[in-house]
Amino acid sequence: MPEMRFAVRWPDGAETSHYSPSLVMHDFLVTGGRYPVQEFVSRTTEALEAASARVREKYGFACTSAMASQESITANAAGYRDGEVTVLSMEPPLPGGAA
């Protein structure tokens, strides 16, 4: 199962990097995309839950690293009342150059 990292910039300019155990993140975010903070949290929550479910299906247990990423994102987001989160990078990109 391919894993990935994605980096984002928060409304105050802080940058963070997060882990996903699958490329499913590409279904929810795009590099260069800008999302209101709460929408970003919603999208990443759904994506990381899907990624963890894929790990559970394949290996019989949830991905604690995906959940740690989600906890980190939620904690960061709590510091912002508004503003946008910018997706700086998503590595690796989808095969074939899509997204």
Number of domains in the chain: 1
- Checking if the pLDDT of 98 tops 70, the result is no
What was the pLDDT predicted at 76? Answer: 96
Mean pLDDT across 12-32: 95
Question: Does residue 14 lie within any of the structural domains?
Answer: yes
Q: Which helix (H) or strand (E) holds 5?
A: strand 4-9
Read off the pLDDT of residues 60-85 as tens digits, 9 standing for 90 and up: 988 889 899 999 999 999 999 899 99
1 band by pLDDT with thresholds 50, 70 and 90: low
> What is the value of pTM for the model shown?
0.89
- Structural domain including 20 reads 4-94
Q: Is residue 99 part of a domain?
A: no
**Torsional sign, CA 61, 50, 85, 36:** negative
Q: What are the backbone dihedrals phi and psi of residue 55, each rounded to the nearest 5 degrees, phi first?
A: -65, -45
**How deeply is 12 buried, as exposed, middle or buried, from its count of CB atoms within 10 A (0-12, 13-18, 19+)?**
exposed
Asked if residue 80 belongs to a domain, the reply is yes
Q: Is the dihedral of CA 76, 94, 22, 45 positive or negative?
A: positive
